[in-house]
Structure 1
Amino acid sequence: MSYPVVFGLLLAAALALPLHASAGTHSQTRKKAAPAAAQKAKKSAIKKTSVRKVRSAPASRQGLPYADHPEAMRFADEVAERRGLDPAWTRRAIGQAQQLPLVQRLMQPAQPGTRKNWAIYRSRFIDNFRINAGLRFWQENESWLAKAEREHGVPAEIIAGIIGVETIYGRQMGDFRVIDALSTLAFNHPENHPRAAERAAYFRGELEQFLSTQHRRSLDPLEPLGSFAGATGMPQFMPSSWVKWAVDFDGDGRIDLRNSAADAIGSVANYLKGYGWQTGMPTHYPVRFDAETVDMDTLLAPDILPTFSAASFQAKGALLDGAAAGHAGPLALVELENGDGPSSYVAGTENFYVVTRYNHSSYYAMAVIELGRAVREAVERQP
């Protein structure tokens, strides 16, 4: 799953560490030789840096702990029993998780009647900054992208598109504690969401998987950072996706989706292949309409699920040209709203639908496809 995320404090913390270490490596001889004023300034700098280093999370990342939440504590006991975990460890982990109001606000559904706008959505992901970052990512990881394409049949541009849309190639992987995000959405999911109960159940499952994985690997459940929905690493995998689809693509003996571009690339390809990616099949085709025969209600009824043969698609007034007219698999009419303007449409194939299994949105899928294409074209323009 993918959710927009906003970051900032990780870099500041990283910059503070070298300053602190540097200040502590001066020899006693140099300290004695330095003027008193300089010594005072150094001590002040060390003190300020130390405070910055241990400073607690910003207010937006703090909330009420779940230790006094009876339902959360019952869940901790149930997870421990189901998964064979240490009950004290599980209660302590969930008890230290915090309910974050910011996570609840970010998960609020769109206002009813709000029209989506593909042009605005697209502009958030297809820009020079992201394309240039993708170019560097491709150049640095060309062999891994080629290996993933060769072994899984997923084009390098689709893999690059997903990692680019998700985290700008690892630049924005999230600064929410995963256990806080998952606990908040498991026990305090916004009730005005149209599928609140279903979504809360989903996040409870993800929290359970996260705790089980951390316990099994003897890792601190309070350390991992991710998106406000609990997704982590360059490809923003949820805990269940990590267990099912993540792979040690670089063969170093461990799976690291945060620091290993190779593992991220191989895992994305494995995920898409697992959801049915078909090698060589386009993701979509252009479509035009016969104004006299088009049956938009019928064509749009299945949403993005490929349902119509190419022949029945055209019989309902959605016309295809060239090779698209002979497409062998089912098609879907994909509508992309443009605010108050006319919608855009494409004929989505089964591979388009596979991309939406990463994030259940046709807008997301098109952004991935178009960003990946733009990055590939940038690569091809290089001398």
Structure 2
Amino acid sequence: MSATPNPLRRHLAALIAAAAGTLVLGQAPVAAAQPVPSPPPGYERRDDVSAFVRQLVERHPELDEEVVATALADARYQPQVARLIMPAASPAAKNWKVYRSRFLDTLRVREGVAFWRDNARWLQAAEERWGVPAQVIVAIIGVETIYGRQTGGFRAIDALSTLAFDFPRGRSDRSAFFRDELEALFTLAARDRVNVMTIKGSYAGALGMPQFMPSSWLKFAVDLDGDGRIDLHRSVPDVIGSVANFLAANGWQRGLPTHFDVLPPPEGPDREALLAPDILPSFGAAQMAERGASLSPAGQQYAGRLALVELRNGVEPPSFVAGTDNFWAITRYNWSAYYAMAVIELGQTLASLRTVADGR
């Protein structure tokens, strides 16, 4: 004779079955409802955003307050942007050889040779006007976007709003810089009569083939092809002229080398003194010699200022060059000696290959 089922036990079983997504009393299992992900938060009804809009239209009467406010209401916080702007949790030791290999790769070299060949007349025109060699212009575009292959897929208004109003904690706050760039984005869109919501770029808000920030686009972009508009997304002549104009405006000097070979002094106070200004040219050739640095013959004859530039190689001994004002000018594009040397060496490689091609 079977025992009578315990009512409390039956009740608990029913609760457990319901929690597991099944129905008791012999009914078929039912899948548990999946939560609907909520969209990223927007920037409507925020006091700091409203204040930004008011200040923006006060500084730029050509902008319509309602249009700007509506655009920011449609902008969305991007968690991926906030993650990407942060430094690595465990940064690897700086290694020039590894860094160099990322940018002197087969794809960039092949595409760079083709880009130079296809746009030789525009590169020549830019060099004649601004004094910046074709190899430097071509190399910068290659390092930045592989000649337009990687320009970024974020809406610029989303990326810049995220960094302007919700800059992540854990590193020095640069929200003021990105608010200025967001302001420049609205100004740029209004000037060029472009829908601000359609402009795309990198996670940091850099735009187009040369990856200009909006403020740099406003200051340095030029209409080299003369079609009446500046287009850094599709007009290669405009891209070439804008890169050359940027470098010239930031101190590039026609005919000046970017650097000289140098042997640094031994580790100690003299080396530390020469490295203290970092990449800013601060010493004459004689001053470097007095502190034990051995410059190449060409460097010894150089009359301008130099910087002792250190490029670390992981656990191996570092490399050194003596950077000129033109080395410094390249770092205005990206504040990094590694970046500048990658541009310089990619440009040298492309120039050598072009010379071989011309010889054939």
Tell me which interval the TM-score lies in, with the shorter structure as reference length.
0.7 to 0.9
Which whole-Å CA distance do the structure 1 matches of 2:59 and 2:216 have between them? 20
**1:170 equivalenced with 2:148 (yes/no):** yes
Q: CA deviation at 1:112?
A: 7.4
Instruction: Flag structure 1 segments of 5+ consecutive residues without an equivalent.
Output: 1-58
- Asked whether the equivalents of residues 192 and 229 of structure 2 are also in contact (C-alpha less than 8 Å), the reply is no
Distance 1:113 1:258, change over 3 A: closer
Secondary structure, aligned partner of 2:198 = coil
Secondary structure, aligned partner of 1:65 = coil
1:140 aligned partner, one-letter code: D
Q: CA deviation at 1:99?
A: 0.9
Aligned match of 1:373 in 348, 351, 358? 348
**1:77 equivalenced with 2:62 (yes/no):** no
Secondary structure, aligned partner of 2:197 = coil
2:246 aligned partner, one-letter code: Y
- Asked whether the equivalents of residues 167 and 236 of structure 1 are also in contact (C-alpha less than 8 Å), the reply is yes
1:334 aligned partner, one-letter code: V
Which whole-Å CA distance do the structure 2 matches of 1:292 and 1:231 have between them? 39
1:70 aligned partner, one-letter code: D
2:115 aligned partner, one-letter code: F
Matches for 1:32-181 after TM superposition, within 5 Å? 63-84=40-61, 85-111=63-89, 114-181=92-159
Structure scoring higher RCO (CA < 8 A, sep ≥ 6) equals 1
**1:282 equivalenced with 2:257 (yes/no):** yes
Which whole-Å CA distance do the structure 2 matches of 1:162 and 1:144 have between them? 15
Secondary structure, aligned partner of 2:93 = coil
Q: CA deviation at 1:272?
A: 0.4
Aligned match of 2:197 in 216, 222, 233? 222
**1:245 equivalenced with 2:216 (yes/no):** no
**1:213 equivalenced with 2:191 (yes/no):** no
2:60 aligned partner, one-letter code: R
2:141 aligned partner, one-letter code: I
Distance 1:225 1:379, change over 3 A: same
Secondary structure, aligned partner of 1:222 = helix
- Asked whether the equivalents of residues 265 and 293 of structure 2 are also in contact (C-alpha less than 8 Å), the reply is yes
Which residue of 2 is the match for residue 266 of structure 1?
241
Which residue of 1 is the match for residue 179 of structure 2?
204
Q: CA RMSD in A?
A: 1.7
Q: CA deviation at 1:113?
A: 7.2
Report the TM-score, using the length of structure 1 for normalisation. 0.80
Distance 1:80 1:293, change over 3 A: closer
Task: State, as a whole percentage, how many aligned pairs show the same letter.
Answer: 51
Report the TM-score, using the length of structure 2 for normalisation. 0.85
1:219 aligned partner, one-letter code: V
Q: CA deviation at 1:123?
A: 1.1
**1:313 equivalenced with 2:277 (yes/no):** no
Q: CA deviation at 1:174?
A: 0.9
Q: CA deviation at 1:111?
A: 4.5
Q: What is the number of equivalent residue pairs in this alignment?
A: 320
Which whole-Å CA distance do the structure 2 matches of 1:216 and 1:129 have between them? 36
- Asked whether the equivalents of residues 293 and 316 of structure 1 are also in contact (C-alpha less than 8 Å), the reply is no
Aligned match of 1:188 in 159, 166, 181? 166
Larger radius of gyration: 2
Q: CA deviation at 1:70?
A: 2.7
Which whole-Å CA distance do the structure 1 matches of 2:263 and 2:143 have between them? 28
Distance 1:366 1:308, change over 3 A: same
Instruction: Flag structure 2 segments of 5+ consecutive residues without an equivalent.
Output: 1-36
Aligned match of 2:337 in 354, 358, 362? 362
Distance 1:113 1:225, change over 3 A: closer
